[in-house]
Structure 1
Amino acid sequence: MSRTEHAPGTRAEAYAIAFEESLEHPDTFWLAAADAIAWDSAPTLALDRSNAPMYRWFPDATLNTCFNALDRHVRDGHGDEPALIYDSAMVPTKRTYTYSELLAEVARFAGVLAGQGVAAGDRVVIYMPMIPEAAIAMLACARIGAVHSVVFGGFAAKELATRIDDAQPVVLVTASGGLEPGRTVEYLPIVDQAVEMSEYPPHTVIVKKRPSIHGSATDYRDRGALWSDWDDLAADAADADPVPVAATDPLYILYTSGTTGKPKGVVRDNGGHAVALAWSMRNLYDIGPGDVMWSASDVGWVVGHSYIVYAPLLVGATTVMYEGKPVGTPDAGAFWRVIEEHNVSALFTAPTAIRAIRKADPDAVELAKYDVSSMATLFTAGERLDPDTYSWATEKLGVPVVDHWWQTETGWAICANLRGLDPMPIKAGSSTVPTPGYRVGIVDSEGVPVPSGTEGNIVIALPLPPGTLAGLWRDEERFVKSYLSAFDGYYLTGDTGFIDDDGYVFVLGRSDDVINVAGHRLSTGSMEAVVASHPAVAECAVIGIHDDLKGQRPSGYVVLKAGVEIEEDILRTELVAMVREQIGAVATFRDVTVVPALPKTRSGKILRKTMRQIADNVEYAVPSTIEDASVLDALEKLLRG
């Protein structure tokens, strides 16, 4: 690496200075960071504390996020530099958009939206696959001050309708469908049904026709909403200029699952979002102009918003938009091909993707076919990076493998190893240290701070830094109840973990993944770390299931590595011994089931709650975010006979 790694047990000096400054003098720190943004009216005040806990960043400033992502780079003579690389393993096709070309597409579609009556503050729902038009639609909304709400393409009609009714969009933008390995998902029947179900349907549905997928706007023009073709509207539209908005105005709404069944609309502002993401690109990811960043996610998730669409463009870098999977499109070398072909500097993906590659190709035979020397760092997030996967990726890739921790609500990393500021030693199982701006602590059930090394609830002292959620869409009461009411003065992350003597943060799992075994509170995340370290295990999940005697007991589910053969009884004996040795007999870990696959969301998170419901033989609903429902069916047959 180009920067010096510091010896274990020491805090990097540049990090320590930045972190202290961000907490002791946040106004000075973030106003300096704001210099990286082009403002229509520059901020003179960093944080408005007058309406705590509804804090607002850069309250006296105005800007346009799209201008910052595109126009200013063209203005400054960088229009011929690559902005967005589209790589579809499904079609297949590849296309590179320069900053000038992407700006032209965005300005034209912004004109389309304006022509359909969309104005600053109006909402636009985007229901798209991983094609360039998804990013173009998002940036076009930002250009005219509209608020976009991206819904993951393929969500069921009921889930889409729920989000439509909450956001109440003027326009819904979609495509004829999405492509998955071995199947095509037609979007238009889903959209039609959702619009029919909605109490507040959009006035217009705009359809991007994909040549290989059946269905077009023409098929639905007799419906209630006005269905129009993307290309037809663009042919007649005038380019739209960027509209300045208040820094505190919403840029987007992104829905995340709620415990009541009603999704929570996380609101991201314009100003804090731009400042935080630009700062993170330089200081966390070490990415700037001329670098290529690939976030192997989807625009339907927060990673796609932050690090596919916005952050790379804000700093004049190149972003990769990939339509495909880590394996099966066509093989376990898919990621390595993309890195070689597009000279990727940093890859950001979920640990589950690396585990899938490792399971299919444990000896990295496919990796050896490609030159991935352009990649300086592998970043992971979305779930805990288990030490075994970390070790495999580190050994095979020969680059730093950096786990960092953040949430839909925060929009960028809470904890990280800041590769562009001052890299620190990596500890397997830890997301390293709190990012400047985040005052992370560990408290017990009463809100009392606990000693280092002691597991508890992970909290963040208020105010949160810029770029984090400004609230929930039209529901301040729910925002306070969900995140701010558990412990006075803190944002509740919903995760458990501990901080060691060096200040490293270890995230062990969600708070509801802490189980109570005969009065002992135990972390299933800790048990998973032990199980995952077994050489035969590709990935695993440990859940707490009902036990008449002890209340709950841990139950493990493991997927074996490709080509591994081991008797299930032998594996069970070895895993039980490992958990007993490393966690203790109090865990009473005895149940181990080998499964062909674990049920996951499309973003790679294991559906542990649903697994618990199946194991406890209670009714469950198939989550709208599920990647493959057949995996649940197979698990239910295995566990329920």
Structure 2
Amino acid sequence: MSAPENVPSFAPDPEFAAQANAHADLYDIAADDRLAFWDEQARRLDWDTEWSEVLDWSDAPVAKWFVGGKLNVAHNCVDRHVEAGNGDRVAIHWIGEPEGDSRDITYAELKDEVSRTANYLTSLGLVAGDRVAIYMPLLPEVYIAMLACARLGLTHSVVFAGFSPAALRSRIDDAEAKVVITADGQFRRGKPAPLKAGVDDALAGNLDGVDGPADSVQNVLVVRRTGLDVEWTDGRDVWWDEVIPSQSTDHTPEAFDSEHPLFLLYTSGTTGKPKGIVHTTGGYLTQASYTHHVVFDHKPGEDIYWCTADVGWVTGHTYGVYAPLSNGAECIVYEGTPNSPDEHRHFQIIEKYGVTIYYAAPTLIRTFMKWGRNIPAQHDLSSIRLLGSVGEPINPEAWRWYRDHIGGGRVPIVDTWWQTETGAIMISPLPGVTETKPGSAMRALPGIEASVVDGDAKKVAAEEQGFLVITEPWPAMLRGIWGDMDRYRDTYWSRFAEEGYYFAGDGAKWDADGALWVLGRVDDVMNISGHRISTSEVESALVGHDSVAEAAVVGADDDTTGQAIVAYVILRTSAGEEVDHQKLIAELRAEVSREISPIAKPRDITIVPELPKTRSGKIMRRLLKNLAEGKEGGDTSTLSDPTIMDQIREKGTRG
């Protein structure tokens, strides 16, 4: 995101600051002795065995944190809260997509369910270090399954339930998973959709480019969710409700080494097969728990916390499951889409449950903008005291809309930067401590060392674009790519190997006040007649227009300028159906010219009904780039609406 000139900052609210978990001294304390700082944060958890050394970096870039320490993640997320007398506190307020479908699960009940599931998985012959694939919608059972794996030292690999059977199969094969946990189906926009059928196809190898069955998988555990008929393989497939309830609730968790692999999470590379990111136990949970405590200012027993991400993504892992439960949070878990049965659904949930902390992606916020401010205005959202943003840089206009219309113009926003690879938040304001600017992640958290450098690893001056790097190891960092450590070193450490910097793949800059602005992926920087312009800069300028809800910008090949800027925009509902599209397109070009430079004026702007998005909300810009260059559209199987590219071609207004 570009740092617009004269962006007003918001000072911390004194009333909020007086009660905040974080304090300004944290920055100095961490800077004075970073390892002692992390030692103190680790002691927020229960450990069976204390560590002998905070960090071993002798085999860089492979880190060992809290060397020799042992703990159990599930104990820290569940048992210890029950033992502390908080077993009656609700851990999960689960809300199904069909209205009226809900369950509340206390910490004591969660402990029993996790213990039953752990006992059943043990009966299958699984032992610590085995891998389990989880391919499920956002049900309580996905939390239970993840925690049961953690309890046993099984390494789980959660695969987003919107992924194709081929994507599931590639992850099963790479991890050599022995068990798959899934559901018969899932609800999407009010209708049941099959899920186990995809598992059957994946395991049988009924896929292009796949030869034969998945030999590693021995059992498939299936949750009844939709009542859809499913194919059945006797001896392999088992219904969850026929085996888990009969298990004993007695189970003693085993402590595992701090570096024991907790989970694999696959993230797509620009080329080659998906990368299995490895996260371990002690360092990951330490940073996850600490950041949740200070960034979200979470107060156990007082807050109602909602992270809207699916557990198929790292945000759902860290801030949907492990971090909040480690802090004894009362969590909202919603199965469905934000507009099922209508656009009021999220705001109804906030109002009903009194949500105090709400963490969402800019894509969702811009969707709310598109629907219009009158929808949240019909609900009492006064319980909210903190808002969070995650997943990509948030443009300033969306930031202000979020604060004004969801936060009542009064609450702090934590704009968080981090990645699947970092495991936990790295850059973010501290509420009650840090000034905020709309669209800026502000500064690295205490304990994290980040910089913006040029190609020679020299720190860049204010307002100059550079590469965002992490200059010191951090507890939640990935420990490698599963089965391919050479790829790990090459992907993340080779760009600045001599300096030992982790290169995040994002561009960034500091403004004149020292605030950090993340500009998005460096491969999203366009070269227009020798001028480097970030796609997010142009998107931000477009969304700054009152009529635009969302924009996606790509660089298309151009014989004259090398690359040309091509934009696709969605209009707000408030723009009206009678708007003159060509006049509006001219205004948008002028807006970009004024906000950035005449050089940044898009060659083409197309007004579209929707953008091509995956079910996680990620915009598939490569499809738009192909369209702009007149190429074949590409694979649309992962889109939430596979027909959207046809709609863009047929209904888009280009100017």
Report the TM-score when normalising by structure 2. Answer: 0.91
* Aligned mates of 2:64, 2:637 — CA distance in 1: 33
* Aligned mates of 2:651, 2:463 — CA distance in 1: 38
* Aligned mates of 1:416, 1:236 — CA distance in 2: 45
Residue 136 of structure 1: how far off its partner (Å):
0.5
* Aligned mates of 1:316, 1:136 — CA distance in 2: 15
Indicate whether 1:574 and 2:584 are aligned: no
Q: Is the 8 A contact 1:416 1:432 kept in 2?
A: yes
Distance 1:24 1:610, change over 3 A: farther
Residue 30 of structure 1, aligned match among 38, 41, 44: 38
Indicate whether 1:129 and 2:137 are aligned: yes
Give the SS at the match of 1:68.
helix
Residue 627 of structure 1: how far off its partner (Å):
2.2
Residue 238 of structure 1: how far off its partner (Å):
3.3
Distance 1:14 1:281, change over 3 A: closer
Distance 1:172 1:310, change over 3 A: same
Give the SS at the match of 2:564.
strand
Q: Is the 8 A contact 2:258 2:283 kept in 1?
A: yes
Residue 575 of structure 1: how far off its partner (Å):
1.3
Report the TM-score when normalising by structure 1. Answer: 0.93
Give the SS at the match of 2:575.
coil
Q: Is the 8 A contact 1:169 1:202 kept in 2?
A: yes
Q: Is the 8 A contact 1:64 1:242 kept in 2?
A: yes
Q: Deviations over 1:274-306 (max 9, x none)?
A: 111111122111003112210011011111111
- Structure-1 residue corresponding to 2:307: 295
Q: Is the 8 A contact 1:5 1:424 kept in 2?
A: no
The 5 A counterparts of 1:161-180 are 161-180=169-188
- Structure-2 residue corresponding to 1:456: 466
- Structure-1 residue corresponding to 2:227: 213
Residue 164 of structure 2, aligned match among 156, 169, 172: 156
Q: Is the 8 A contact 2:190 2:341 kept in 1?
A: no
Residue 280 of structure 2, aligned match among 269, 276, 279: 269
Amino acid at match of 2:253: P
Q: Deviations over 1:543-591 (max 9, x none)?
A: 1111011110101111000141321211121111121122212224231
The 5 A counterparts of 1:70-469 are 70-90=78-98, 92-197=100-205, 198-210=213-225, 212-216=226-230, 219-222=231-234, 226-239=236-249, 240-290=251-301, 291-326=303-338, 328-360=339-371, 362=372, 364-396=373-405, 397-398=407-408, 399-419=411-431, 422-463=432-473, 465-469=474-478
* Aligned mates of 1:637, 1:557 — CA distance in 2: 14
Give the SS at the match of 1:434.
coil
The 5 A counterparts of 1:409-558 are 409-419=421-431, 422-463=432-473, 465-488=474-497, 489-558=500-569
Which stretch has the larger CA shift, 62-71 or 561-570? 561-570
Q: Is the 8 A contact 2:21 2:294 kept in 1?
A: no
Q: Is the 8 A contact 1:171 1:204 kept in 2?
A: yes
Give the SS at the match of 1:49.
strand
Amino acid at match of 1:556: A
Indicate whether 1:610 and 2:618 are aligned: no
Indicate whether 1:626 and 2:639 are aligned: yes
Give the SS at the match of 1:468.
coil
The 5 A counterparts of 1:3-22 are 4-5=12-13, 17-22=25-30
Distance 1:247 1:636, change over 3 A: farther
Distance 1:201 1:619, change over 3 A: farther
Amino acid at match of 1:456: G
Residue 58 of structure 1, aligned match among 66, 69, 93: 66
Distance 1:358 1:120, change over 3 A: same
Q: Is the 8 A contact 2:557 2:629 kept in 1?
A: yes
Unaligned runs of at least 5 residues, structure 2: 1-10, 206-212
Residue 182 of structure 1: how far off its partner (Å):
4.5
Residue 151 of structure 1: how far off its partner (Å):
0.3
Q: Is the 8 A contact 1:27 1:46 kept in 2?
A: yes
Structure 1 residue ranges, 4+ long, deviating more than 4 angstroms after superposition:
12-16, 636-641
Residue 29 of structure 1: how far off its partner (Å):
0.4
Give the SS at the match of 2:533.
strand
Q: Is the 8 A contact 2:53 2:66 kept in 1?
A: yes
Q: Deviations over 1:115-144 (max 9, x none)?
A: 111111110000000110011100000011
Distance 1:15 1:447, change over 3 A: farther
Residue 639 of structure 1: how far off its partner (Å):
7.7
Distance 1:583 1:320, change over 3 A: same
Q: Deviations over 1:474-514 (max 9, x none)?
A: 21111111111011211111111211233211112211110
Residue 542 of structure 1: how far off its partner (Å):
1.2
Amino acid at match of 2:154: A
Give the SS at the match of 1:378.
strand
* Aligned mates of 2:381, 2:590 — CA distance in 1: 39
Give the SS at the match of 1:416.
coil
Unaligned runs of at least 5 residues, structure 1: none
* Aligned mates of 2:23, 2:464 — CA distance in 1: 24
Distance 1:461 1:295, change over 3 A: same
Q: Percent identity?
A: 39
Residue 271 of structure 1: how far off its partner (Å):
0.3
Q: Deviations over 1:171-209 (max 9, x none)?
A: 100000111114322011110010112544411011111
Residue 610 of structure 1: how far off its partner (Å):
2.3
Distance 1:349 1:14, change over 3 A: closer
Distance 1:91 1:336, change over 3 A: closer
* Aligned mates of 1:579, 1:555 — CA distance in 2: 12
* Aligned mates of 2:481, 2:458 — CA distance in 1: 27
Which stretch has the larger CA shift, 335-344 or 119-128? 335-344
* Aligned mates of 2:565, 2:199 — CA distance in 1: 41
Residue 15 of structure 1: how far off its partner (Å):
5.7
Q: Is the 8 A contact 2:607 2:652 kept in 1?
A: no
Distance 1:482 1:243, change over 3 A: same
The 5 A counterparts of 1:577-588 are 577-588=590-601
Residue 618 of structure 1: how far off its partner (Å):
2.7
Give the SS at the match of 2:47.
coil
Q: Is the 8 A contact 1:70 1:314 kept in 2?
A: yes
Q: Is the 8 A contact 1:125 1:164 kept in 2?
A: yes
Residue 409 of structure 1: how far off its partner (Å):
1.1
Residue 459 of structure 1: how far off its partner (Å):
1.2
Give the SS at the match of 2:79.
helix
Give the SS at the match of 1:86.
strand
Distance 1:53 1:134, change over 3 A: same
Give the SS at the match of 2:53.
coil
* Aligned mates of 2:233, 2:192 — CA distance in 1: 23
Highest relative contact order (Cα 8 Å, sep 6+), 1 or 2? 2
Give the SS at the match of 2:324.
helix
Root-mean-square deviation over aligned CA pairs: 2.1
Residue 630 of structure 1: how far off its partner (Å):
1.7
Q: Deviations over 1:389-434 (max 9, x none)?
A: 1121222232223321111111221211112xx4322201101211
Residue 14 of structure 1: how far off its partner (Å):
6.9
- Structure-1 residue corresponding to 2:208: none
